[in-house]
Amino acid sequence: MDGLRTSPHVSVNKLGRYLTATPALRKRLIHAQKHPPEPQYLRYPEAAHAISDFLCRGQDEALLRQHQHRLVTGVHLDEFEAHRAQLCVEAIERYRELHPRLGLRGVVASEVGHEPPPLLMAGVSIRVWPQVVLQAMDRHGHNKVGVMKLYFSKHHPLDERSGQYIATLLGAFAEQHLGSLGPVDTRLVRVVDVFAGREYLAPKARTRRLCDVQLACEEIAARWPVQ
């Protein structure tokens, strides 16, 4: 398998971990981003699709049940596929339990697109890839915009710092690519850690965090050729 990426790339989730990681973990994270797994080995794409579908089609809980049923009753080619389906069913259930606490009533969600553009910083392409665009009207009838990113990991939950770093980058993504829809509202910029049952909103004060991201990207770009 040759998934080598020649130019520095990093997913926003991994960058969030990188910013709070030990030196040894930072090295492993860069190596994993340079040598990514094949797409078929990713564990949660079906769960992300199911939750996005639920959000974009009126937040009808029956849609989540339909996706779970399809995953449970589907024919799986091998043990890995069966295990992935089980994990996705569990992830969807965790999100279903969490959703009422997210306060999304009155918020309209729409699809981001198959491959949204990256953020570029210090020579590194940051793959933000939020699942949905969120829009809502303020009390004056003006449209506000944000994005939601789903985070899936049973064994590596986000901590407060990582969650806020990722939310900061989501806000930068929304400002860069969604400005035509209206101003960004930090209350609509959300990172949802599905298995941990937590969400992180974009902080209003972000100058120091963006500086940290800039320095981390400089480090990734410098280390990339030797990983």
Q: Is the pTM of this model over 0.75?
A: yes
Look at residue 140 in the predicted model and tell me its pLDDT: 87
What is the pLDDT, as a whole number, of residue 113? 76
Q: What pLDDT score was predicted for residue 134?
A: 97
Output the pLDDT for position 226: 81
- What is the structure's pLDDT at 51? 97
Encode the chain (227 residues) as per-residue pLDDT tens digits.
Answer: 344 557 899 999 999 999 999 999 999 999 988 887 765 556 899 999 999 999 999 999 999 999 999 999 988 888 888 999 999 999 999 999 999 999 998 999 999 877 788 899 999 999 999 999 999 998 888 999 999 999 999 988 999 999 999 999 999 999 989 988 999 999 999 999 999 999 999 888 889 999 999 999 999 999 998 87
Give the pLDDT of residue 6. Answer: 73
pLDDT attached to residue 115: 78
| SS3 assignment for the chain | CCCCCCCCEEEHHHHHHHCCCCHHHHHHHHHHHHCCCCHHHCCCHHHHHHHHHHHHCCCCHHHHHHHHHHHHHCCCCCHHHHHHHHHHHHHHHHHHHHHHHHCCCCCEEEECCCCCCCEEECCEEEECCCCEEEEEECCCCCEEEEEEEEECCCCCCCCHHHHHHHHHHHHHHHHHHCHHHCCECHHHCEEEECCCCEEEECCCCCHHHHHHHHHHHHHHHHHHHHC
Where do the domains of the chain lie?
Answer: 1-227
